[in-house]
Structure 1
Amino acid sequence: MGIDSLPIPVQNVTDRTSNPFGMRPPFDRTPPGDRTAVFGYGDANADFHLIGDYPGRHGGAETGVPFTGTDSGRALQDVFRAVGFVSGPPAKPICENLFCSYIHMCRLPDGRTPTDEEYDDLERYFDAELRAINAHILMPVGEQATDHVLREYTTQRHRIDLDMAALHATEIRGRGFLIVPIREPTEWEDTEREALVARLEAILGRDYRQTKGVATTVG
């Protein structure tokens, strides 16, 4: 079943960790035998949604799991283990209250960067999955994912300078979401891991589930 035949919102399928909503990539441009896509992975009822760019940048080509097999993925797993969202083996982590996905799930030859048209091709698939997860906190990683999330899920993109060092581990109110941008982990300075851990712990320490109601009126 492709996403075209699924109702929106999609009912959560909580017993499936990988691709819980049965997404099918709309195109396959990889060599025969290669993995066609790195689908969303984790807790389908999560309050926190980690959003990356594409498999060639943030990993998963070998494992099928977002944010695995790369320095970026290892750095992020370390953060989410510290706050209690991730346990188990690095290549196939156990996620609790965390869902991970990419704005461009499909693999491309040699891990090349998607074109603007290819990003556009997958936008509705990502959007459908994001709304099915219905998380409270969106955490885009890197400039491309952050730009997309701010444009599509807030009214503030025109007022925000896309300076990832300045935006890292801050809070931005969106249309029904709280956005916590994350700088590309391979570019982190000495204090940026600790800043992200501290931000997540602060959010967990308050009634963040009220975020959706608050953000709807502010974003």
Structure 2
Amino acid sequence: MTCTKCALCKGRTNVVFSDGIENAKIMIIGEGPGENEDLQGLPFVGRAGKLLDKIFESVGLNRKEHLYICNIVKCRPPDNRAPLPEEADACREYLEAQVRYIDPKIIVLAGAVAVKGILKMKDVKITKMRGQWIDVGATGQSPLLEGRKLMPILHPSYLLRHEWNKAPDSPKAMMWKDIQEIKKVFDGL
């Protein structure tokens, strides 16, 4: 892939397109590649990616057998900043092609940037939206997403930045609840 649609191409080492299996029922969409991802050319391979793998493996799901993982943007934003709306728009056709090709039944949106990028929302409070299935079929805003179950979750990097405790409202407890709900729906497919 040799895209030059936005300025992110100037600083990349690798285009970070995807990882996982092509017939996945679950697609995980993150925000953008970090330093490790840019160097290896694969999404979610740094600390946050290792945590994401552990979270999904805790319910018997993994990227080699069950998951397809990609990002809103395919090139690393400088200084690990969030992708700008125009950068997300430049990559949108690639992301839409991925959704069409993989045809997942469940799309997990990892973090606020993924929710904003997929649903074209401006104000996203991920701690309020996480854990709730989103029905886009009723709105008609995106025919590509109709019939799919979308679940926002906390980005694993958020979990790395917050204390891990067992309080019912801790990020860890919220993620555990969300991943169990995703697994329940997956098992029902």
What TM-score comes out, normalization by structure 1 length?
A: 0.67
Q: Aligned pair in 2 of structure 1 residues 24, 162: CA closer, same or farther (>3 Å)?
A: same
Q: How many residues align?
A: 166
Q: Aligned pair in 2 of structure 1 residues 147, 108: CA closer, same or farther (>3 Å)?
A: closer
Q: How does 1:189-208 map to 2 (within 5 A)?
A: 189-206=171-188, 208=189
Of the candidates 141, 162, 169, which is equivalent to residue 131 of structure 2?
Answer: 169
Q: Aligned pair in 2 of structure 1 residues 25, 85: CA closer, same or farther (>3 Å)?
A: farther
1:85 is aligned to 61
Q: How does 1:1-219 map to 2 (within 5 A)?
A: 23-26=1-4, 28-30=9-11, 35-56=13-34, 60-70=37-47, 72-86=48-62, 94-151=63-120, 162-174=124-136, 175-188=146-159, 189-206=171-188, 208=189
Q: Pairwise CA RMSD of aligned residues?
A: 2.3
Q: Aligned pair in 2 of structure 1 residues 103, 132: CA closer, same or farther (>3 Å)?
A: same
Tell me how far 1:185 sits from its aligned partner: 2.3
1:12 is aligned to none
* Cα-to-partner distance string for 1:16-75 (whole Å, 9 max, x where unaligned): xxxxxxx44335312xxx623111111111110000111138x512322211113x2222
Q: Structure 2: give runs of 5+ residues left out of the alignment.
A: 137-145, 160-170
Aligned residue for 1:100, secondary structure, equals strand
Amino acid at match of 2:113: Q
The structure that has the greater radius of gyration is 1
Amino acid at match of 1:40: S
Q: Aligned pair in 2 of structure 1 residues 199, 119: CA closer, same or farther (>3 Å)?
A: same
Distance (Å, rounded) in 2 between the aligned partners of 1:75 and 1:193: 11
Aligned residue for 2:27, secondary structure, equals strand
Give aligned-pair identity as a percent. 27
* Cα-to-partner distance string for 1:156-206 (whole Å, 9 max, x where unaligned): x69xx7221122222112322100111122334231231123112211332
Distance (Å, rounded) in 1 between the aligned partners of 2:52 and 2:82: 21
Distance (Å, rounded) in 1 between the aligned partners of 2:178 and 2:52: 10
Amino acid at match of 1:26: T
Amino acid at match of 2:180: A
Q: Aligned pair in 2 of structure 1 residues 126, 205: CA closer, same or farther (>3 Å)?
A: closer
Kindly indicate whether structure 1 or structure 2 has the higher relative contact order, using CA contacts under 8 Å at least 6 residues apart: 2
Tell me how far 1:98 sits from its aligned partner: 0.7
Distance (Å, rounded) in 1 between the aligned partners of 2:78 and 2:116: 24
Distance (Å, rounded) in 2 between the aligned partners of 1:117 and 1:178: 26
What TM-score comes out, normalization by structure 2 length?
A: 0.76
